[in-house]
Amino acid sequence: MLNGLQPWHLIILVLVVVLLFGAKRLPDAARSIGKSMKIFKAETKDLTGEHKATAAEDAEPVETKQIPATPVVPAAPSATDQQVADLQRQLDELKKQQQAPAAEQKNAS
């Protein structure tokens, strides 16, 4: 016995699929699967940071980036941490300034 698929296996499989889903629903199902795959690929590229502008580049195989095996050492607070702290302080000051006029209006009434 051969373990591979024979052409008549594929014919029977196609007939079963057509009987189950109907000939009218198959193109719609294939179209929706294609759209889903396109969205999935786009989201995957967004997550990996790879953006390709042209359709010709989309046809090329995508190279995978290898992550170095060096351990990540936590660094001292960076400039971005300092910026975040400064912005938080400014936000707190603005909230205090907004609360002061509101308190004055309550006292005036």
Token pair belonging to 55: 């359709």
Considering only the C-alpha atoms of the chain, give the largest distance between any 2 of them, rounded to a whole number of Å: 96
Mean pLDDT by 10 residues, the chain (109 residues): 76 88 84 93 84 50 58 59 89 86 69
Residues 6+ apart with CB under 8 A from 50: 62
* Amino acid, single-letter form, for residue 59: A
Q: What is the DSSP letter of 103?
A: H
* Amino acid, single-letter form, for residue 33: I
pTM (2 decimals)?
Answer: 0.32
Beta carbons of 45 and 52 less than 8 angstroms apart: yes
